[in-house]
A and B are shown apart, each in its own frame.
Chain A
Amino acid sequence: DSGVTQTPKHLITATGQRVTLRCSPRSGDLSVYWYQQSLDQGLQFLIQYYNGEERAKGNILERFSAQQFPDLHSELNLSSLELGDSALYFCASSAQTRAGANVLTFGAGSRLTVL
């Protein structure tokens, strides 16, 4: 158990639907990161939050959005789902508060299947 909790573990839905993935970071970590990994693809960085504020954006589609709440948990919202959105979605957290080494701890992922 890495200390980063992601729910649900598995999710099956239909095209056009909307889903929400949830991530609880390790205790004390202020940063949350979201990554997408499609079948046989590499890990693609989507977005980062730090203490409730968006810090960086990667290749995140406009149909996707995220937020980090005051208790530091984060949610990734995926809407108007397409078949190509089927993927593993990983959340990671880190404790970095200033420049220097920054070790990310990843959760076990949420596997989304769009039919």
Chain B
Amino acid sequence: DAKTTQPTSMDCAEGRAANLPCNHSTISGNEYVYWYRQIHSQGPQYIIHGLKNNETNEMASLIITEDRKSSTLILPHATLRDTAVYYCIVWGSQGNLIFGKGTKLSVKP
């Protein structure tokens, strides 16, 4: 069973920041938060992951609340090529990467 809750869809204007929320209220201490995206039937693409601290890489930033029960993926300057389904997944050392339904992000000109 998916352990995260994400909005079904979101829109974002091109050039603006896209903020994708994720609730994971049952996350346990050793579980990481991972974000992947899938662009129209391509293979899922890893974006970023974090445990407790906020993380940033060349693609995005991940903000994790202090209680770790929710997080936000931030794409700082969304482009049309960022239109995709974004998956927030919590995963520890047991089990496997289980994908939920994700958020369909549409970046509009």
Q: Which A residues contact B (CB, under 8 angstroms)?
A: 2, 4, 33, 35, 37, 42-43, 45, 48, 56, 58, 88, 90, 92, 99-109, 111
Contacts and interface: CB of A to CB of B under 8 A. Distances in A.
Contacts of A103: 34, 46, 49
Given A100-B93, A101-B32, A109 B42 contact: yes
Range for the number of chain B residues in contact with chain A: 20 to 34
Interface of B: 30, 32, 34, 38, 41-46, 49, 51, 91-93, 95-102
A106 B96 CA distance: 14
A42 B99 contact: yes
A48 B96 contact: yes
B87 to A, nearest CB: 8
A56 B96 contact: yes
Given A92-B97, A103-B46, 5 more contacts: A33-B97, A43-B38, A56-B96, A102-B91, A109-B41
A39 B51 CA distance: 33
Nearest to B50: A101
Contacts of A111: 41
13 contacts: A2-B45, A33-B97, A45-B96, A45-B98, A45-B99, A48-B96, A90-B43, A92-B97, A102-B97, A103-B49, A104-B46, A104-B97, A105-B46
B43 A2 contact: yes
B93 A99 contact: yes
Nearest to A111: B41
